[in-house]
Structure 1
Amino acid sequence: MAITIITERQLAADQQGLWKKALQAVQTKNYKYAVTILKTLVKRVPGFLEGRKLLRACEVKSTPEAGRKASLFGGLRVTTSRKDPESVLVNVEDDLERDPYSVSANEALFAAANDLGLPEIAAFALETICQGMPNAKKHLHLLANHYIKNEQFSEAAETYRRVLKADPTDPIAMRGEKDCSARATMKQGNWEGKGDFRTKMKNANATADLESGDKMGLTRAELEARLAQLSEQYAADSANLPVVKDIASVYEQMEDYANAYSFYAYAYQLGGSADVALNDKAMAMHEKAMQAEIEYYEQVLAADPSNEEAAATLAQRKAEIAQAVVADARARVEANPTDAQLQFKLGQALFDAGEFTEAIPALQRARTNPNIRIKSMLMLGKCYHAKKMVDMAIRQLLDADKELLTMDDTKKEVLYMIGVLYDEAGNKEKSIETLKAIYEVDYGYKDVATRVESAYS
């Protein structure tokens, strides 16, 4: 008969009697007697999690040396092989009675509970290790991954916060805490409905073929199985670069871009920041993750324009994306300050973030490269316009227009902006004359026809 989690109310009559005796022993602080009763009860009913938790608490109370044995002697020998998880679930309590914080015993309990499909007991085993060793990053990360796997995002976020207390610079925990907090909020607000976040996005046509497999032909179930294997390796050695890269790749294939970003970024750091391709990959995942979230909230707002929470979150995410792109572009320029292409990307990122003054010098430096000169001049014109320096914007764009010999899309954009700026400056005649050049070759370009024809009415 399969072991399942049961509550106090589901205990049989004789088991209820043992439970009451244990509670009475706890009330009188007779913890050793309580341990004896509770261990008997838990062995009879391995799925009685409440009893197992009380047993562990009593063991800690009655074992002053709890935790020291494992740290001094490398843990106790688990009395039963993992090949028989049901026996482990029962007999591991003999080891835990001697040392409730035993790492090896609790790891055995975690593995057995997972094998039996008892995530609550598995989480309790890891929580016990972390209680005995609050700064055990390895087990905290394993616990966070376990919570994420079981869609307990609030618990995962809190676990990542515990990691950050031990190591405020941990990149996985920093990103994981934000991601899990966001997913917990969405779940509490019922954004996820009856399914997970990706299911909701799929229903909203924001993702495609998420459940059908990845580019390498693996199904989602196979990817999750692969991720579970890699997570165990990562828990054993979080600095294993090949494992970290493999985890990042699996998350990418699962279209979980937030976690893919976290692990690609961590892999880049582990490699001594030498592999530029890893950094590029991390940034690409970061942008995809944020863009997916933006698209999701845009769909939420389209369905419910009065949703103030979604509107606020959308605005916040857009601002975060702009700042993230700026930070990445700035870092690239600092690494290679003579690259005009990078200067242009920085200027464009700063413009998109509303930092017009800072964008100007970057775009001026980019203007020296013939291949991006016109684009840089156009962006400079936009910066001057944003700063209400209309005359300088017009002059910059007129210089750009002189260098454009054919009426392509770029020249049309430059001329259109010049025409609009002349109109804003109160020079209606020059505005219409400029826009006529576009009207003569492309009647349907933006609102050129309306602007030009209105001058004749």
Structure 2
Amino acid sequence: MPEKPLNECPRELRPLFTKGSEASQRENYEYAIDLFCQVLAREPGLIDVRRALRKAQAGKSAAGGSGFFKKVLSSAGSSPQMAKAQFALRSNPAEALALAEQVLGSDANNAMAHRVVVEAATTLAMPQTAVMSLEILTHLSPKDKNVAIQFSRLLADTGDARRAEGLLAAFANSHPNDQEVSQALKDVSAKRTMSEGGYGALASGEGSYRDILHNEKEAVSLEQEKRVQKTEDVTGRLIEEYEARIKAEPKNLKLYRDLAELYTQKKQFDKALSYYAQIKASEMGGDASLDQAIAQTTVRKLDHHIEQLNPNADDHAEEVARLSAEKMAFQIGECQKRVEKFPTDLGIRFEMGQLYFQSGKIGEAIKEFQRSRDNPHRRIASMNLLAQCFAKRKMFDLAAENLQEAIKEKQVFDDEKKDLVYQLGVVLENMGKKPEAIEQFKLIYKLDASYRDVEARVDAFYAGQ
């Protein structure tokens, strides 16, 4: 069962993938998992869909917490499914794979399910699927030698011999006398040399020394491509290469996206947006991440225009204000479209509230934050900003109530809780309750005296006694 890219997905299944991607982006992981599983039930080899599924499974598990009792209940509930999956491995590995995915939909870090995935995927000749689960298994059991060796060998087989060599080298450092690890490292190193240099083709009679030189140049190109910080000359050369490749591969949408990102790096935003527009006009134009990329590029374009303004010009302040207003108007308009498209998406409602708050539309922001606080992932932040909205309208009693409720729900005293406590202190101060206010600032001072102006506030209080 060969693995294949997303552009080979049957037309009738593409809307399911698009809806699943949008649901995942909105953190509606349950729905996303269901949609991705529907696609994979028809086309198990679609590796990009399986990657999206794995990401949604991880998101759902992270959102649901990882307490001891939750793990126990999850393990108990998945036991019958795991028994079926292990039994199916012998006669129907495709069914075993599907059953294991059901378990991972409830527990993304179920080691037994990932082992079934690896075994089923190996039998079905789906190496990239096996690699994904082996990578998770290495994180779950970093000292498991057999998993490390299997993962590294499969990485090398799927073309990532350099990473495989690095993993085994690190493992060998902590196991210097382990002959099995040492031999696996030698094998992987040899495979990397053969694959990157083109010597495998030469030995089989299918290549030439000219091919070797070409492949070495290409390997350097790929390495440069993967660097996080691309210099201007490398970026320019990659653009030239991709522009030339597009003529030969006009339907390769990944090239269009890569070019858009490269032009964005070079701050040639109009060219970047033109490539995004071509993807938007294609059959993959419904991808929610594409709309987000277009919006982010447009915002970066406006930011760049502001940066390019002459600070010594007489109209500098007016131009900054004009472009900033244009940027805010674009962000609000773009977000409003998404609110209309997904009216029940509370994550977008939160984003809409933030934009209204930043633009001074406090009444509109209040309504959005009152909705978004029902999103468990945005609840605390929504209550904080809602309180700040009330404070701006001098409704200090309502602001204090929201902050006190948020503080009660926030268990960990991290930066978010510090902000809640600080805001409550400011609100209480505005209400004339200075003793209660200073108690809030002292709570922060005991843990982090450098936070904002807490030290100055506390020092002033004690100096005045």
- TM normalised by structure 2 equals 0.44
Choose between structure 1 and 2 for higher RCO, CA contacts under 8 A separated by at least 6 residues: 2
Q: Which has the higher helix share?
A: 2
Rg larger in 1 or in 2? 1
